[in-house]
């Protein structure tokens, strides 16, 4: 039994009347979590897996009375040591499997490179940990579908790291649309920052001391170490090399597609079933993910969604209100009686008088979350799924993958939502999965 589990059982014995010789009959309320306080034994213990830039979001756990970070992990020694010191000199690990074996860890925050998101998430679920996983979800549709085991088989709490759901403007804007305040939705536009070209595989460099490069690569193909591959150079290649990601079409696109899916989940729309469009893939350099794109997705009922990178959207003159929307990423719903655009912490309403109805939009209401990490911790404690649920994450991530496959094959893609597969295109069907370097597997 872990020390933490022992403390919990000890307090439970006291609270249910078990006899403990010599124990005082008066217990301070702060020790029992009363009056707003949370006893140390009841705090959710979080393990941080991945100590790069995206791990900054995990700082919230250490500032929240209901949680604490008790372990960190990263194959780059210097990064994890800095984080361990930040969190009171907690244990640090190079291998995520060692952290998952720590029985004092209740939940994990996964902020690794994209190609590790689903494999580590599944390993965490098997180890009995609840998990917050950064976006995007998987680097293939196969990985997205496999991720469902986290809930279906292992019954874990899962928060998807698309934190727009925890901003009031996103929630209220969608509620305006869901309650009919812009009339019938006639067209949807979503956009995000473009990808990057460039990067160099040379010069090949010796692996730095304290870096388990083989573990960092994990299921990705073997490749020589160079500065641009993992972000040590001018660019951060982990977002723009196809072995580790599908590019900003998912790395940034996860935010607007997740917002779109939050709306769609509350209308019964599912995801678009047809995808057609164009995109640009660099012909030179180390980076080989899509940089610019313009995809039209069509839902089963005929409603059309257009998904673009930001610069491509700005050049498109027939998009309503585009000159009045300054967001770098977002979703624009155009209705028969108005329009709503939402992004992280901001919105634009057409007409602006729609904001008068935002506080009481109607009977369709969405879950309220004011902080994504705290919502996750609260959900771990209550055993209820948080605002960024896994089922929705799978659907929104598949939109990104089908858009990517459409561009790479140069053909219209048909999606069967019942069988969850691409129809009539062997080349595209093959792209639904990615090989994994042995011994790694889902």
How many angstroms separate the CA atoms of 197 and 241, rounded? 10
User: Is pLDDT of 24 > 70?
Assistant: no
Q: Is the pLDDT of residue 5 over 50?
A: no
pLDDT at site 236: 77
Helix orientation angle between 168-178 and 254-265, rounded to the nearest 10 degrees: 40
Q: What's the CA gap between 254 and 200, in Å, rounded?
A: 26
C-alpha separations of 383 from 130, 151, 375 in Å: 10, 12, 12
Which pLDDT does position 401 carry in this prediction?
98
**Domains defined for the chain, CATH in brackets:** 3-164 (3.40.50.720), 167-197+232-368+390-430 (3.30.360.10)
| Residue 168 confidence (pLDDT) above 70 | yes
Q: Which residues pair with 192 in a beta bridge?
A: 309
1 pLDDT higher than 70: no
Tokens 């919990």 correspond to: 8
Task: Count other Cβ atoms within 10 Å, centred on residue 222.
Answer: 9
Residue 194: burial class (beta carbons within 10 Å; 0-12, 13-18, 19+) = buried
Per-residue pLDDT reduced to its tens digit, 123-157: 999 999 999 999 999 999 999 999 999 999 999 99
Each residue of 268-305: pLDDT tens digit?
999 999 999 999 999 999 999 999 999 999 999 999 99
Residue given tokens 């090949």 in the structure block: 204
| pLDDT 10s digits, 100-116 | 999 999 999 999 999 99
Query: Taking all residues of the chain, what is their mean pLDDT, rounded to a whole number?
Result: 91
Rounded percentage of the chain residues whose pLDDT exceeds 90:
88
Closest among 194, 211, 386, 202 to 307, alpha carbons compared: 194
Peptide bond into 328 cis (omega under 30): no
Question: What's the pTM value of the predicted model, to 2 decimals?
Answer: 0.91
């Amino acid at each position: 039994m872990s020390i933490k589990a022992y403390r919990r059982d000890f307090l439970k014995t006291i609270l249910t009347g078990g006899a403990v010789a010599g124990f005082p009959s008066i217990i301070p309320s702060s020790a029992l979590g009363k009056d707003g306080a949370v006893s140390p034994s009841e705090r959710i213990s979080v393990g941080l897996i991945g100590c790069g830039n995206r791990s900054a979001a995990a700082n919230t756990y250490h500032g929240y009375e209901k949680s604490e970070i008790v372990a960190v992990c990263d194959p780059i020694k210097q990064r994890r040591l800095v984080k361990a010191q930040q969190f009171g000199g907690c244990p640090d690990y190079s291998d995520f499997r060692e952290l998952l074996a720590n029985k004092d860890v209740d939940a994990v925050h996964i902020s690794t490179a994209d190609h590790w998101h689903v494999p580590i998430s599944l390993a965490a679920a098997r180890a009995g940990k609840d998990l917050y996983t950064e976006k995007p979800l998987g680097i293939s549709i196969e990985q997205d579908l496999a991720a469902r085991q986290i809930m279906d088989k292992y019954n874990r709490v899962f928060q998807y790291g698309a934190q727009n759901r925890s901003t009031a403007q996103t929630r209220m804007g969608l509620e305006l649309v869901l309650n009919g305040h812009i009339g019938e939705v006639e067209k949807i536009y979503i956009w995000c920052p473009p990808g990057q070209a460039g990067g160099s595989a040379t010069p090949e460099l010796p692996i730095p001391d304290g870096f388990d490069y083989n573990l960092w690569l994990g299921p990705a193909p073997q490749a020589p170490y160079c500065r641009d591959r993992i972000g040590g150079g001018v660019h951060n290649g982990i977002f723009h090399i196809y072995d580790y990601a599908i590019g900003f079409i998912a790395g940034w696109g996860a935010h607007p597609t997740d917002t779109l899916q939050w709306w769609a989940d509350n209308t019964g729309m599912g995801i678009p079933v047809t995808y057609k469009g164009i995109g640009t893939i660099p012909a030179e350099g180390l980076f080989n993910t899509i940089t610019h794109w313009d995809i039209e997705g069509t839902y089963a009922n005929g409603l059309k969604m257009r998904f673009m990178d930001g610069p491509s959207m700005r050049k498109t003159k027939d998009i309503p209100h585009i000159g009045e929307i300054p967001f770098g990423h977002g979703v624009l719903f155009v209705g028969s009686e108005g329009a709503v655009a939402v992004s992280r912490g901001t919105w634009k309403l057409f007409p602006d008088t729609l904001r008068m109805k935002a506080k009481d939009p109607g009977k369709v209401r969405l879950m309220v979350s004011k902080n994504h990490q705290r919502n996750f911790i609260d959900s771990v404690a209550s055993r209820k799924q948080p605002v960024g649920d896994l089922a929705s994450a799978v659907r929104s991530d598949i939109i990104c993958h089908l858009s990517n496959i459409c561009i790479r094959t140069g053909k219209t893609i048909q999606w069967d939502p019942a069988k969850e597969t691409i129809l009539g295109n062997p080349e595209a069907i093959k792209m639904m999965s990615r090989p994994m370097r042995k011994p790694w597997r889902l």
